[in-house]
């Protein structure tokens, strides 16, 4: 079973292949490697399961591998430099290709290394987490974190292709799997009410990791993202809708220390906070807020922010968000389930209420 | 006196202003700053002379400053991270602008910080060395060094404008000034025989730092570079001619440790080595090689490589050069003075002779 869609970006366009048993179908990624040197970057958790399979598929190329420690706390400039060191030790040139085998951290960091090595070389994404398959491996956002802010250092650099093999999700722990579902649910919330309904109907199949249901969820998610990216590659407009829940979520991730909360967990809470503020603005109904909370809870995701982050700390962390500009903070908020908008004219007092109260009580 | 030329790159195009007394003409750079936050990045040598002038011109903006240590050895990821830290501490957003006030190191590092901060913000170049005015501030190549190779980490990111004030050259020491002349001479060598002749005639005026002569030299140099960049922004073809002498030169810089040789000094020797190899190939005449050596010597530049770098070490260092690819090393060589070409079919034995012999004797 294989579904292929294309991110339509002219000469930077690329295919996304989604299905089961794709890692052994090496031609899918070999076709997009133009030089003869390949560096496979993976991490200590993923490599033991899949590295040999991928390397076997790369027979005929000069292959080097680099195994990094696993975790968001390693997505930084220091670890990035290890990729450069490896590339230089191996004497890899401008025609080389990097292959990211892992979750979002490996994908973002490897993609950013590809963006910067010799001012830009090719890379291929082989995402092995649900989160990476539906989100971070599509769209060309690459980068690393800074101690003072998440994803603050990076580049737009599109992969040559993405190969999302649902088999790799078999080895994912439940917490990571649920974190990926947060982003799947996000696509329903921002643009596709019918998809949101489909997820509600199919959440148990998804949690059982039924392959066909997963392929459909990933395909619909990637299609939504590919459309938004094709319309707005560098996020000057509609692409920012993809950040629903992310401004709140990044504040939670930074405020609790990278690696404490998973990205998808923080985004889940962030989406509830965005829904709460949308309801306080009078846009979303209380019933819809509850429907969102319920689906996220069924997906085994948190829905309340950590008590440790006060309102003032939230505002401080959110003020450096990339969605902030000279006109102030912009948030993605919801008119209804299936319709989001970018908004800077929300009521500051209502935001205060969302930041203060929600963790203690469902305010509505 | 002010000359303005434009680098023609569509919506990434920008003006280069060249003349005397430009730093006090703040409208030149103010016009290209679109947000309200500006970070001026400079170094300990340059800041005492010009920082106040530039900051005075930025009245009305929210201005922060960052003063870095001076020297090629500080052009690395660690120092780059200081720029990110400063930007985040100041809560600078995506609409901010970086202003690079200094030589090539400050320009390359600040430009790369601008390329990566929040995946890309604006920057303005105010080059204060001759080298930066004629070369590194024009064309959008930004980046930092790695312990294993020069400029191996970077991005193409065009500035919003370049302001080259010849007054700032008054405070440049003689060695730095001569290093800049190496790149001026390079433009004559690769494309403009008449300009090479003009430099021979005017070298004494240049060494005396006569303002009108300098403006003409900088303008002709920038025009040559702007044409090549406009034709080939990402260096897939003709732009690589600008690397005459650079593959040899980078090997000297890396092999002796960054900061020992100035970039322009290493390029001067590299150009003599390229000329030597071109002559051994039977392309350039011995008389022209001598003419090149003589002009570089008159410009007070070195013309022989350091004894400490053996042939094998040269080959090793050159093998990671960005001009190398799967087809092997490519060099920029000379057919005549004023006509260069990119070449991978040179004779390896003749290259060996150039690497072995030239330091000991002018072989021709």
- SS3 at position A364: coil
For residue B264, what are the CA distances in angstroms to A355, B44, B106, B166, B274?
A: 56, 21, 16, 18, 15
Q: Minimal Cα distance from A157: which residue of B?
A: B119
Which residues neighbour B360 within 8 Å (Cβ) at sequence distance 6 or greater?
A: none
Q: Locate the domains of chain A by residue range.
A: 2-171, 174-357
What predicted TM-score, i.e. pTM, was given to this entire model?
0.91
- SS3 at position B347: coil
Chain A positions touching B117 (Cβ under 8 A) are 152-153
A175-213 per-residue burial string, b: 16 or more CB within 10 A, e: under 16: ebbbbbbbbbbbbbbbbbeebbebbeeebeebbeeebeb
Query: What ipTM was estimated for this complex?
Result: 0.90
Do residue A148 and residue B85 have CB atoms under 8 angstroms apart? yes
Per-residue pLDDT at A360 exceeds 70:
no
Per-residue pLDDT tens for A247-295? 999 999 989 987 789 999 999 999 999 999 999 999 999 999 999 999 9
Say if A81 is an interface residue toward chain B (CB within 8 Å): yes
CA distance A240 to A341: 9
Strand ranges in chain A using DSSP code E only, listed in sequence order: 2-7, 14-19, 37-43, 62-68, 97-102, 122-127, 141-146, 149-156, 162-165, 331-336, 339-343
First to last CA, chain A: 44
CA distance B167 to B1: 11
Q: Minimal Cα distance from B82: which residue of A?
A: A146
- Best of A82, A93, A240 to substitute, by most chain B Cβ atoms within 10 angstroms, is A93
B294 CA to chain A: closest CA distance, Å? 34
Q: Minimal Cα distance from A34: which residue of B?
A: B326
**For residue A339, what are the β-bridge partners?**
A336
For B174-357, the fitting CATH number among 1.20.1090.10, 3.40.50.720, 3.30.565.10, 1.10.8.50 is 1.20.1090.10
Per-residue pLDDT tens for B202-215? 999 999 999 999 99
| CATH no., domain A2-171 | 3.40.50.1970
Do residue A35 and residue B149 have CB atoms under 8 angstroms apart? no
- SS3 at position A149: strand
The catalytically annotated residue of B183, B216, B233, B265 is B183
pLDDT of residue B137: 85
Say if A325 is an interface residue toward chain B (CB within 8 Å): yes
Chain B positions touching A155 (Cβ under 8 A) are 115-116, 119-120, 155
Do residue B93 and residue A37 have CB atoms under 8 angstroms apart? no
Q: Is B37 exposed, middle or buried (0-12, 13-18, 19+ CB in 10 A)?
A: buried
Considering only CB atoms, B148 lies closest to which of A85, A152, A319, namely A85
For residue B315, what are the CA distances in angstroms to A126, B84, B146, B332, B355?
A: 35, 36, 18, 16, 9
Do residue A81 and residue B146 have CB atoms under 8 angstroms apart? yes
User: Positive or negative, the Cα torsion across A273, A278, A282, A287?
Assistant: negative
For residue B34, what are the CA distances in angstroms to A236, B30, B124?
A: 15, 8, 11
Say if A89 is an interface residue toward chain B (CB within 8 Å): yes
Contact present, A300 and A277 (Cβ < 8 Å): no
Per-residue pLDDT tens for B39-57? 999 999 999 999 999 999 9
Q: Is B36 exposed, middle or buried (0-12, 13-18, 19+ CB in 10 A)?
A: middle
pLDDT of residue A325: 67
> Considering only the top CATH level, what class is B2-170?
alpha beta
What is the β-pairing status of strands B331-336 and B141-146? unpaired
Catalytic annotation present for B32? no
In the predicted model, what is the mean pLDDT of residues A298-311?
A: 94
> What's the pLDDT band for A136 if we cut at 50, 70, 90?
confident
> What's the pLDDT band for A359 if we cut at 50, 70, 90?
low
Per-residue pLDDT tens for A148-180? 888 999 999 999 999 999 999 999 999 999 999
Per-residue pLDDT tens for A15-70? 999 999 999 999 999 999 999 999 999 999 999 999 999 999 999 999 999 999 99
């Amino acid at each position: 079973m294989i579904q292929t869609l294309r991110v339509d970006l002219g000469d930077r366009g690329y295919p996304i292949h989604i299905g089961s048993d794709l890692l052994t179908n090496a031609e899918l990624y070999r076709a997009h490697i133009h030089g003869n040197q390949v560096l496979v970057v993976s991490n200590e958790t993923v490599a033991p399961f899949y590295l040999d399979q991928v390397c076997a598929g790369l027979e005929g190329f000069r292959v080097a591998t680099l195994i990094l420690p696993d975790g968001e706390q390693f997505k930084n400039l220091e670890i990035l430099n290890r990729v450069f060191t490896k590339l230089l030790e191996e004497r890899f040139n401008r025609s080389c290709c990097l292959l990211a085998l892992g979750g979002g951290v490996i994908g973002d960091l490897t993609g950013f290394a590809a963006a910067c090595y010799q001012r830009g070389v090719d890379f291929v994404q082989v995402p092995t987490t649900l989160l990476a398959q539906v989100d971070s491996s599509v769209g060309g956002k690459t980068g690393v974190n800074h101690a003072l802010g998440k994803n603050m250092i990076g580049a737009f650099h599109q992969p040559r292709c993405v190969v999302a093999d649902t088999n790799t999700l078999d080895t994912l722990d439940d917490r990571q799997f649920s974190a990926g579902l947060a982003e799947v649910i996000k696509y329903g919330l921002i643009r596709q009410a019918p998809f949101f309904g489909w997820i509600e109907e199919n959440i148990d199949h998804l949690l059982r990791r039924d392959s066909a249901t997963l392929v459909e969820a990933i395909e619909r998610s990637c299609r939504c993202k590919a459309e938004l990216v094709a319309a707005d590659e560098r996020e000057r407009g509609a692409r920012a809708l993809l950040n629903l829940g992310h401004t709140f979520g990044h504040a939670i991730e930074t405020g609790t220390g990278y690696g404490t909360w998973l990205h998808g967990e923080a985004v889940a809470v962030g989406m509830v906070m965005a829904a709460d503020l949308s309801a306080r603005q009078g846009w979303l109904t209380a019933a819809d807020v509850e429907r969102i909370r319920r689906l996220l809870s069924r997906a085994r995701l948190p829905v309340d922010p950590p008590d440790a982050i006060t309102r003032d700390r939230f505002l401080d962390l959110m003020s450096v968000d990339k969605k902030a500009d000279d006109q102030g903070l912009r948030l993605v908020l919801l008119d209804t389930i299936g319709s989001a908008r970018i908004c800077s004219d929300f009521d500051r007092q209502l935001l205060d209420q969302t930041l203060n109260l929600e963790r203690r009580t469902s305010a509505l």
